[in-house]
Amino acid sequence: QVQLKESGPGLVQPSQTLSLTCTVSGLSLTSNSVSWIRQPPGKGLEWMGVIWSNGGTDYNSAIKSRLSISRDTSKSQVFLKMNSLQTEDTAMYFCARKGIRRGGSFDYWGQGVMVTVSS
């Protein structure tokens, strides 16, 4: 079955770079698109960006200058790198699959990884 799992450091210092990994199973990254979505504590969801099945990327313009999404198809992994972290980047970070024949909705999500930005 389709599964996604995020991993990465729970604590990052201000101004540092965040690196997260989304490991997928039950699907091929060459025929599926994966997005990163984050949720600050007690708040709503923010779409960050997507890596398409062809390897192309699109980013939320609000954070585009700080964000990079890449992948290693042989390892079934998608990577997020975001630099110049600030306290407002403290959030739960999710990776999610764009649904097949579900428009732009997300039909499978990882469990999320909590990232705290603090010195």
Partner 1 sequence: DIQMTQSPASLSASLGETVTIECRASEDIYNGLAWYQQKPGKSPQLLIYNANSLHTGVPSRFSGSGSGTQYSLKINSLQSEDVASYFCQQYYDYPFTFGSGTKLEIK
Contact residues for partner 1, defined by CB under 8 A: 35, 43-47, 58-62, 94, 96, 99, 102-107, 109-112
**Nearest residue (CB) to partner 1, 74 versus 105:** 105
CB of 37 to partner 1, least distance (A): 8
Q: How far apart are CA 43 and CA 59, in angstroms?
A: 21
CB of 46 to partner 1, least distance (A): 7
CB of 84 to partner 1, least distance (A): 19
Radius of gyration, CA atoms only, the chain? 13
